[in-house]
Amino acid sequence: YWLHFEVKAPDSNPRWLTHLSVPQHTQVADPQALIALFRQFMNEQEKHQRSPALEFIVLLILQQLTVDARQNENAEAAGVSLAWKVQQLIRTHYHLPLSSSVLAKELHCNVDYL
């Protein structure tokens, strides 16, 4: 989908807009949610009525665009990094008694997190 829009701010009230930092190019975190919003927007437009719902749907679309997909990737990368560190500890300390609590203490994290 392509989204083209213009923002016209009223001169009298500078606080009229909810501040969103929308990137020009992005990868969305939840593509299915964004597709559903676009379909809802198009359904409302086809009714040929100027509806306040259109403005709210556009705001929801913009909000979805600001949620960066890379945030999820960073969270997953942290888990992969921890798993790699655990693997390295097991490989280098295989000759010593090992347990999840020993590994957690060595990596400074909670046992349940492993």
What is the percent of the chain where pLDDT is above 90? Answer: 10
Please give the tally of structural domains in the chain: 2
Length of the chain equals: 114
At residue 45, the pLDDT reads 87
Nearest to 2 by CA among 29, 53, 41: 41
State pLDDT tens for residues 43-89.
888 887 778 888 899 889 988 888 765 555 555 566 678 888 888 88
Confidence of residue 100 (pLDDT cuts 50, 70, 90): very high
Full-prediction pTM beyond 0.85? no
Say which range, 17-21, 28-32, 107-111, has the weakest mean pLDDT: 17-21
Say which range, 2-11, 18-27, 37-46, 82-91, has the weakest mean pLDDT: 2-11
Instruction: Give the CA distances from residue 35 to residues 1, 25, 56, 71, in Å, rounded to whole numbers and listed in that order.
Output: 8, 16, 15, 20
Instruction: Give the CA distances from residue 62 to residues 20, 79, 81, 114, in Å, rounded to whole numbers and listed in that order.
Output: 8, 29, 32, 36
At residue 99, the pLDDT reads 92
For residues 14-26, give the mean pLDDT.
67
Phi and psi at residue 78, in whole multiples of 5°? -65, -40
| Host domain of residue 86 | 74-113
* Residue 3 within a domain: no
Task: Give the Cα separation of 75 and 113 in Å (integer).
Answer: 13
> Do 83 and 104 belong together in one domain?
yes
* Residue 84 within a domain: yes
At residue 18, the pLDDT reads 55
* Residue 109 within a domain: yes
> Do 63 and 93 belong together in one domain?
no
